[in-house]
Amino acid sequence: MIGTALVVRPDNAGDVLLAGPAVRAVAAGAREVVMLAGPYGRAAAELLPGVDRVLEWRAPWIDPDRIPMTSEHAARLVEQVRAVGPDAAVVFTSFHQSALPTALLLRLAGVPRIAAISEDYPGSLLDVRHVVDESVDLPEPERMLGLARAAGFDLPRGDDGRLAVRGPLPDVEHLTGPPGYVVVHPGTTAPARAWPAERWAEAVEALLAAGERVVVTGSPGERALTALVSGPALDLGGATTFAELAGVLAGASAVVAANTGPAHLAAAVGTPVVSLFAPVVPAARWAPYGVPTVVLGDQDAPCRGSRARVCPVPGHPCLATVGGEQVVDAVRRLIPAEEAVKERVP
């Protein structure tokens, strides 16, 4: 058992949620866990079981807005970490990210023991260099849990290693009505992962015609999109905090979403997911984890594995060919599994 552990995942909310099992493993071996997150992942970090405090810092080598790297910006992180004084740090990354810039700054902050996955030679930057066979598409939670184990941390007995959030969640029935609805979340952070808006509207219409109660969710910046696709369905675009969104998803029988943070938030509250998944990254790594899931979209499309943020193929064929009736069929396949899934959620 160590004193304070710093866990690092400075990117989006979905990435932070996928790190949850590994964070719980670290928490089982430390008296305090401080999580370093970026501005897009902070709200998710605050919901993770095992996290005691959250630091926020934008990593220029990860942040999509391409913020400049300056000595002043680096110094802010070094000062924050020095104030925490961690006994060890575990730096979580995806396979296309390098942990070494973070490790360098943590070293400057005086962190005595640093663990990360690194294909590149780390020199003195890492004390635990965990090497992963990236030719195998291991689910992201398992990849990060493997790093935690290499660093000497493992899940406590009885922890099934699935995604989770800290409860109790806010009561949202005043927003949604009673549980048993289908959530449709049309927004994404990367255009290449987006299903066309007209298809989302078609799916909402088809779900309503099939007798489902539909709740459309989105961030404040997605209000125009949710208004466009919701029609007569309940539009909660911009109306919830991240914790309230978790509550809305927890009350759903199923969630329909692209490869985006709320799909992982749905998995963390135990709700089955219909995933409109563009194969710019592998579904085997980033599909919703640990809950019944139906993946829709052509996983062999030309954009496969490109990691593109903007679709490189005219017409966006990997998702544009999916129709509303396919979504209805997928939801109907998942709803019978919903009761069994919910029974295990605390």
Whole-number pLDDT of residue 302:
85
For residue 268, which of 345, 211, 189, 187 has the smallest C-alpha distance? 345
What's the whole-number mean pLDDT along residues 172-193? 94
pLDDT at res. 343: 45
Quick check: helix, strand or coil at residue 95? Answer: coil
pLDDT of residue 337: 56
pLDDT at 341 over 70: no
Non-local CB neighbours of 100 within 8 Å, separated by 6+ positions:
116, 118, 120, 122, 125, 126
**Per-residue confidence at 338, pLDDT binned at 50, 70, 90?**
low
Residue 192's pLDDT is 83
Cα three-residue angle 275-281-282, rounded to 5 degrees: 70
CA distance 208 to 221: 25
Q: What is the reported pLDDT for 172?
A: 98
Mean pLDDT of 118-137: 94
Q: CA-CA distances (angstroms) from residue 195 to 155, 175, 307, 313?
A: 36, 26, 16, 14
- Residue 303: pLDDT band with limits 50, 70, 90: confident
Residue 264, C-beta contacts closer than 8 angstroms, at least 6 positions apart = 13, 14, 17, 18, 163, 288, 289
211-231 tens-digit pLDDT:
999 999 999 999 999 999 999
* 140, 21 Cβ separation under 8 angstroms: no
Q: Higher model confidence: residue 104 or residue 338?
A: 104
Mean pLDDT check: name the lowest of 74-88, 119-133, 252-266, 306-320: 306-320
pLDDT for 277 equals: 93
pLDDT of residue 344: 41
At 183 the three-state DSSP class reads strand
As a whole number, mean pLDDT of residues 283-296 equals 96
The mean pLDDT value for 295-310 works out to 86
* Domains by residue range for the chain, with CATH: 2-150 (3.40.50.2000), 174-342 (3.40.50.2000)
Would you state the pLDDT for residue 318? Answer: 83
- Please report, in angstroms and rounded to a whole number, the separation of the first and last CA atoms in the chain: 26
Q: What is the mean pLDDT of residues 184-198?
A: 91
- Whether 342 shows a pLDDT value over 60: the answer reads no
Short-list 130, 144, 114, 132, CA closest to 23: 144
Comparing 126-130, 190-194, 210-214, 265-269, the range with the smallest average pLDDT is: 190-194
Does residue 316 surpass a pLDDT of 60?
A: yes
Residue 170 CA: distances (Å) to CA of 83, 175, 214, 232, 325: 32, 11, 20, 25, 33
Rounded-to-integer distance, Cα 147 and Cα 129, Å: 9
pLDDT at 98: 95
